């Protein structure tokens, strides 16, 4: 599958490496691709944003959440129409203490701005290393999916499986409105990281055993 990842930071590169290892054709999209020699030297294909989207079957937003909508608008609604867009971004202040979208979510804003695109929110409740290596943690954990399109969530679920997330670890929590729960977890994530002294962890949703 051709995957266009918008962004060239740690998250984008981790996802590109994970999906490339699974056999997908991945390109990173940048507003200034010729300047990202550090990324190309590391073995990643970097192209312009328009090219990354045009050739992709799935688009992944891994840009900073405070600028994501503007970045996507620069690509244009027509280019994104009919595609699945996997959004992993969270809008945070520079000091990571405040949400940029306290009464909404980036996922909702993207879906509102691009109604012909199927937006799926996922992978934003964990560190980049956990996104692509969940099996290195001490036991199973949970990855969440939010979106209005069941088909887009099923496609995203297959891509999560390629990163090592079995279906038993994937939890569909509903429509794109539930994306704010995922994104608002970011402040709790920061607190947990401070308590543990590491960002390499995840949470697991556990339930009572079924009655016999």
Q: Which residue segments constitute the domains of the chain, with CATH numbers given?
A: 2-196 (3.40.50.720)
Pair 145, 156: CB distance under 8 Å: yes
pLDDT of 212 above 80: no
Per-residue model confidence (pLDDT) at position 83 = 98
Instruction: Indicate the pTM of the whole model.
Output: 0.95
Per-residue model confidence (pLDDT) at position 164 = 98
Q: What angle do CA 31, 36, 41 make, to 5 degrees?
A: 150
- Give the strand pairing for 143-147 and 118-122: antiparallel
Pair 58, 3: CB distance under 8 Å: yes
CA atoms 97, 178, 192, 132: torsion sign: negative
Mean pLDDT across the stretch 186-198?
96
The residue that leads in pLDDT, 185 or 44, is: 185
| Tokens read off for 29 | 């999209």
CA distance linking residue 192 with residue 33, whole number of Å: 35
| Tokens read off for 42 | 């590391």
E-state strands within 114-210: 118-122, 143-147, 170-174
Residue 149: band (very low, low, confident or very high) from pLDDT cuts 50, 70, 90: very high
CA distance linking residue 106 with residue 153, whole number of Å: 17
Per-residue model confidence (pLDDT) at position 128 = 97
Pair 106, 80: CB distance under 8 Å: no
Residue 14: band (very low, low, confident or very high) from pLDDT cuts 50, 70, 90: very high
pLDDT of 96 above 90: no
Per-residue model confidence (pLDDT) at position 16 = 96
Residue 37: band (very low, low, confident or very high) from pLDDT cuts 50, 70, 90: confident
Per-residue model confidence (pLDDT) at position 156 = 98
Residue with tokens 């409105």: 177
Per-residue model confidence (pLDDT) at position 41 = 77
Residue 95: band (very low, low, confident or very high) from pLDDT cuts 50, 70, 90: confident
Q: For residue range 46-84, what is the model confidence (pLDDT) as tens digits?
A: 999 999 999 899 999 999 999 999 999 999 999 999 999
Q: What are 3's strand-pairing partners?
A: 26, 58
pLDDT of 94 above 90: no
Residue 35: band (very low, low, confident or very high) from pLDDT cuts 50, 70, 90: confident
**Nearest 5°: phi and psi at 12?**
-60, -45
pLDDT of 188 above 80: yes
CA distance linking residue 124 with residue 100, whole number of Å: 15
pLDDT of 36 above 90: no
């Amino acid at each position: 599958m051709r995957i266009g990842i918008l962004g060239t930071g740690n998250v984008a590169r981790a996802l590109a490496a994970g999906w490339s290892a699974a056999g997908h054709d991945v390109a990173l999209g940048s507003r200034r691709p010729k300047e990202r020699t550090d990324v190309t030297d590391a073995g990643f294909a970097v192209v312009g944003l328009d090219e990354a989207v045009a050739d992709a079957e799935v688009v992944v937003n891994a840009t900073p959440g405070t600028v994501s909508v503007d970045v996507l608008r620069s690509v244009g609604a027509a280019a994104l129409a009919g595609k699945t867009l996997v959004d992993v971004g969270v809008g945070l202040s520079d000091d990571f203490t405040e949400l940029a979208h306290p009464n909404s979510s980036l996922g909702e804003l993207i879906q509102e701005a691009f109604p012909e695109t199927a937006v799926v929110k996922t992978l934003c409740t964990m560190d980049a290393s956990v996104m692509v290596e969940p099996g290195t943690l001490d036991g199973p954990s949970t990855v969440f999916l939010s979106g209005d399109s069941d088909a887009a969530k099923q496609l995203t679920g297959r891509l999560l499986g390629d990163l090592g997330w079995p279906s038993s670890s994937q939890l569909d929590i509903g429509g794109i409105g539930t994306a704010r729960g995922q994104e608002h977890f970011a402040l709790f994530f920061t607190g947990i990281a401070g308590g543990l002294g590491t960002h390499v962890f995840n949470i697991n949703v556990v339930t009572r055993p079924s009655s016999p």
